[in-house]
Amino acid sequence: MKKVELIFVPTPGMGHLVSTVEFAKRLIHCDDRILVTILSMKWFPNASIDAYINSLAASQPDGIQVIDLPRVDVDPPLLGSTKSPESFIHAFVQSYISPVRNVVRDIVSTKSSSDETRVAGLVLDLFCSPMIDIGTDLDLPSYIFLTSNAAFLGLMLYLPTRHSPTSSEFETSDPEHLIPGFVNPVPTCVLPSDLFSKDGGYTAFIKTAERFKDAKGIILNTFEDLEPYALNCFFNGQNPPVYPVGPVIDLNGLSYSNSDDKVLKWLDDRPQSSVVFLCFGSMGSFKAPQVKEIALGLERSGLRFLWSLRVPSPHNDASEMLPEGFLERVQGRGMICDWAPQLKVLAHKAIGGFISHCGWNSIIESLWFGVPIATWPMCAEQQLNAFKMAKELGLAVEMRLDYRTYSDELVMADEIEKAVGVVMNGESELRKKVKEMSEMGRKSVMEGGSSFNSIAKLIQDMLGNN
């Protein structure tokens, strides 16, 4: 039986890496003819990412191999003067085009002389869309794996059409936008910050988005029941084929770890659906004034809470940032930790609500476990995700849609108290709707489900490539 190899090139951010690996595992599970090689690019040192890659290489999951690429110098420097995350991610990807091309060429050359395996294509992270040229040069189809949703794909397809007549960055005073995949006009205030950037962010976004049309297909971490309107907008023959394959979740994250003891044991002693969970992603931290407002809002709510609080420099511990006497007043009904095993927490029976930064992985995980969200976006496309969940789908409580990490604007204690109360309402229509969507998401990846069938179609298309 001849094997087929796919070469994955993920962006080395944890949210992108984990989703990519889990999707690769799912492909292999669906068809044992598939082999996956993951090319691991290296940017600035990150202990958690390095540990994840090392553990993946050591465990050697069936059908998956990891090739570590050497670290390269980025121009402009990744940690240099540029103010735009998108622009240095784009520069980072550009710097790796030559090393990735060399490795892909070597793999193709080796396999072409083999009767056992052939290389069927590249699966590129959305930020790696410029690497489509590598596939074209080597006569390989390239697929884009979008770790976000169909609505964000709509934005990426909209950007080049908007750019043609205007050729300029977005302005905060711009009117609303009619973006494919959205039922409602999209307010400018919920668009990613880099689209307003004159430091290269907007230009990098456009260069990334312009290559989507050249992909053989676009793979999305979503499912038909979650975004039917958006997906129907793209099943029109004008865009590359779209394959909704979600929810893609690393359920291995539910496995037991000693480091999780303290948090999980605390939750074990709390009643069902009685705890609100606050977590803002790996980059989500606040200055002391905002931390105080959160603390006051939680205290006034009278509800139980688990708060993953990342302490920014120059503070050494959370107590420096909290109101005087707060920890004593909430003792027993509130827990603060610097890190929480998010998947295990959301899966725990005690959790009844989630105050989230609205990263798409977090949204997908909360939906999987039927936990309603209150929106507090921070960066990247999170404002757009918050708008999608709260305004388009009615699957989240709107606390803020347009908050930005760099803003000095405070979310006040009364707003937080109100949002906590709404998201923790056990009898709300929102909670019922989220539970129903949870069941739909789980069914979608089961045999015969929409995402299961979409993956089967994707595999059929990949294996049919010459």
Q: Is the pLDDT of residue 235 over 90?
A: no
Candidate CATH numbers 3.40.50.2000, 3.50.50.60, 2.60.40.10, 3.40.50.300; the one for domain 256-441 = 3.40.50.2000
The pLDDT value recorded for residue 143 is 98
Rounded mean pLDDT of 238-259?
82
Contacts of 464 (CB under 8 A, 6+ apart): none
256 band by pLDDT with thresholds 50, 70 and 90: low
Q: Is the pLDDT of residue 81 over 50?
A: no
The pLDDT value recorded for residue 147 is 94
Q: Phi and psi of 125, rounded to 5°?
A: -60, 155
The pLDDT value recorded for residue 80 is 47
For the chain, the average pLDDT equals 91
Q: What is this structure's pTM? A: 0.94
Distance CA 233, CA 230 (A): 5
The fourth-level CATH superfamily of domain 3-246+445-463 is: Glycogen Phosphorylase B; (3.40.50.2000)
Rounded mean pLDDT of 199-216?
94
User: What pairs with residue 150 in β-bridges?
Assistant: none
The pLDDT value recorded for residue 83 is 62
Share of the chain above pLDDT 70, in %: 94
Read off the amino acid at residue 301: S
Whether residue 462 contacts residue 120, with contact meaning beta carbons closer than 8 Å, is answered with yes
Most confident listed range (184-198, 230-244, 282-296): 184-198
Q: Which tens digits make up the pLDDT trace of 3-23? A: 999 999 999 988 899 999 999
The pLDDT value recorded for residue 375 is 98
**Which tokens go with 205?**
């976004």
Most confident listed range (16-20, 111-115, 281-285): 16-20
The pLDDT value recorded for residue 77 is 54
Q: Is the pLDDT of residue 426 over 90?
A: no
Q: Give the burial class of 116: count Cβ atoms within 10 A of its Cβ; 0-12 exposed, 13-18 middle, 19 or more buried.
A: exposed
- How far CA 252 is from CA of 16, 20, 243, 266, 279, in Å, comes to 16, 14, 24, 22, 20
Q: For residue 342, give the nearest of 396, 272, 278, 423 by alpha carbon.
A: 278
The pLDDT value recorded for residue 251 is 87
64 band by pLDDT with thresholds 50, 70 and 90: very high
Q: Which tens digits make up the pLDDT trace of 324-375? A: 999 999 999 999 998 889 999 999 999 999 999 999 999 999 999 999 999 9
Whether residue 152 contacts residue 381, with contact meaning beta carbons closer than 8 Å, is answered with yes
Whether residue 124 contacts residue 132, with contact meaning beta carbons closer than 8 Å, is answered with yes
The better pLDDT of the pair 198, 417 is held by 417
The pLDDT value recorded for residue 237 is 72
Angle 76-90-283 from CA coordinates, rounded to 5°: 90
Over the range 205-218, which residues count as b (16 or more CB within 10 Å of their CB) and which as e? bbbbbebbeebbbb
Q: Is the pLDDT of residue 76 over 70?
A: no
User: What pairs with residue 374 in β-bridges?
Assistant: 355, 397
Most confident listed range (21-35, 83-97, 113-127, 275-289): 21-35
Query: Dmax over Cα atoms in the chain, in whole Å?
Result: 71
Beta strand extents in 330-395 (DSSP E only): 334-337, 351-356, 373-375
Angle 337-390-274 from CA coordinates, rounded to 5°: 40
Q: Give residue 7's Cα distance to chain centre.
A: 21
392 band by pLDDT with thresholds 50, 70 and 90: very high
Rounded mean pLDDT of 55-63?
80
238 band by pLDDT with thresholds 50, 70 and 90: confident
Query: How do strand 275-279 and strand 242-244 relate by DSSP bridges?
Result: unpaired
Q: For residue 190, give the nearest of 429, 16, 383, 30 by alpha carbon.
A: 383
Share of the chain above pLDDT 90, in %: 74
Q: For residue 369, give the nearest of 273, 280, 259, 295 by alpha carbon.
A: 273
Q: Is the pLDDT of residue 213 over 90?
A: yes
Q: Give residue 303's Cα distance to chain centre.
A: 29
Distance CA 179, CA 184 (A): 9
Q: For residue 465, give the nearest of 138, 239, 212 by alpha carbon.
A: 138
Over the range 410-433, which residues count as b (16 or more CB within 10 Å of their CB) and which as e? ebebebbbbbbbbbbeeeeebbee
* CA dihedral for 441, 445, 448, 453, sign (positive or negative): positive
Domain with CATH 3.40.50.2000 in the chain: 3-246+445-463, 256-441
- Beta carbons within 10 angstroms of residue 339's beta carbon: 14
Q: For residue 173, give the nearest of 193, 188, 191 by alpha carbon.
A: 188
The better pLDDT of the pair 164, 275 is held by 275
Distance CA 340, CA 276 (A): 13
